[in-house]
Amino acid sequence: MLARIHRMWWGDCMEPRPYFQPRPVPAWGAPLPPPAHAPMAPPQRGWHPPPITPFPGYQAPQPLPAYRVPPGRPVYPPPVGYGPRPRARGRSHTGLIIGGASFVLVAILMLGTVVVWSVHQDSGGRHPVRVTSTWQYSPTSTWISPKVTPPQPPPGPQPVYALGDNPLFRDREAGFTNAPCSTSTWPFDIPHAEAFYRDLLGCLDPEWKRLLDGLRLPWSSPGLVVAGSYVDSPCGGEDFSGGETAAFYCSANNTIYMSTVSMSPNRYGNHDGFYLAVYAHEYGHHVQELSGISSEEWNQRVAAGVDSPVGLELSRRSELQAQCFSGMFLGSRRGGTITQHELDLAWNDQYRGDGQRSKRDHGSNEHSAAWWRHGSLKNRLWECNTWLSDSSEVS
């Protein structure tokens, strides 16, 4: 069934489409298909984000140990038994006095135990807590207050270390709403580029937060660094002047790195669509990291061999999925500075795969464009589940 679906969308991406095609619309918003199918442009020199090396997946927190419910009543020591009466040695009352004092001391200890138990039994209600009460005898009869271990709050959303069956793809109606997106400037230098990309972040953050919150997955906004020709990061340094890298995402600090050199206004001008497509692609890697996909992909890739055929295919599935997420976002924008013209420009700029490179870790130019367009047309997270696609669709 899945193969048939993908054969259907593959034809959709590679053939002209009518101006509008109706499709089911969820109650929360109407993600519409994009307007006219733009003709394919000649292949351009592709950009190649550096290999993403997420940290190995950490273990999910273990459930809290079950607390022991106190018994219904404290266990009292058995009464002291009477032994055979000792042989009388005169009429001394010393033994009687000592025995009486011992009895009084035992009674006090028992009374203290009952009081402590009663207080905590009544305050516990239907939510008992483990209570550690310590009596310490001293010449001044000091009582050490009981130590109460408060119940721990339930953990928040946690990443799920899975690929094709990740909760990110669980809801078949999960997609972006139709909303405008506007920028206040354009990235002709680093200060203006920072303002520009933060405007775009203000469009991406609410959409992804809504989706991940609804799927019970963690969300946080990514960091942003805008550089010129070179930048250092916890994932390593990157030279943007070489023409191979336009942008990248570093999972070590959850930050997107953009450049005014690789994404130069001298080449792209003040057209928001070009920049947003790349930025939304890197944001897609951030979502993969938050959801647990990146960690699982990297662990499987290391196990198979990072540059083995299996390892490289895993990398291509990850990159093509980020392409699909990027297309989803641009295809769902309605209004603002992301106009139909901007969408058309971005549509024709997605031949950003491996090209003639020998290392096949991003996918072919044709698949890079096809997956971006598929996301733009479908606007559903599950449609971007590259992990379940046939190998021929992620080559």
Q: What are 357-368's pLDDT values in tens digits?
A: 778 999 999 999
Percent of the chain with pLDDT over 70: 62
Beta strands in the chain (DSSP E): 131-135, 143-148, 179-181, 223-227, 230-231, 238-239, 247-250, 255-259, 333-336
Higher pLDDT, 97 or 41: 97
**In this predicted model, what pLDDT tens digit does every residue of 216-254 receive, in sequence order?**
999 999 999 999 999 999 999 999 998 889 999 999 999
Higher pLDDT, 355 or 171: 171
Burial class (CB in 10 A: 0-12, 13-18, 19+), 167: middle
**Could you tell me which of 369, 44, 52, 94 has the C-alpha nearest to residue 236?**
52
Kindly tell me if the per-residue pLDDT of 126 is higher than 90.
Answer: no
Burial class (CB in 10 A: 0-12, 13-18, 19+), 195: middle
For 24, half-sphere exposure in the C-beta direction (CA atoms, 13 angstrom radius) is 7
In this structure, are residues 363 and 320 in contact, taking their beta carbons and an 8 Å threshold? yes
Burial class (CB in 10 A: 0-12, 13-18, 19+), 80: exposed
**Could you tell me which of 321, 312, 381, 290 has the C-alpha nearest to residue 57?**
290
Higher pLDDT, 73 or 259: 259
Q: Strand, helix or coil at 339?
A: coil
What is residue 358's predicted lDDT score, i.e. its pLDDT?
Answer: 77
Quickly state the pLDDT bin for 355 (edges 50, 70, 90).
confident
In this structure, are residues 317 and 362 in contact, taking their beta carbons and an 8 Å threshold? no
**Could you tell me which of 38, 80, 57, 15 has the C-alpha nearest to residue 273?**
38
Compute the Cα dihedral for 94, 97, 103, 105 and give only its sign.
negative
| Rg over CA atoms, the chain | 33
User: The tokens of 84 are what?
Assistant: 């055979």
Percent of the chain with pLDDT over 90: 55
Gap between the Cα atoms of 376 and 340, Å rounded: 12
Give the max Cα distance, the chain.
121
Kindly tell me if the per-residue pLDDT of 51 is higher than 70.
Answer: no
**In this predicted model, what pLDDT tens digit does every residue of 186-215 receive, in sequence order?**
899 999 999 999 999 999 999 999 999 999
Kindly tell me if the per-residue pLDDT of 280 is higher than 70.
Answer: yes
What is residue 53's predicted lDDT score, i.e. its pLDDT?
Answer: 33
Gap between the Cα atoms of 279 and 258, Å rounded: 8
Kindly tell me if the per-residue pLDDT of 310 is higher than 90.
Answer: yes
Quickly state the pLDDT bin for 143 (edges 50, 70, 90).
low
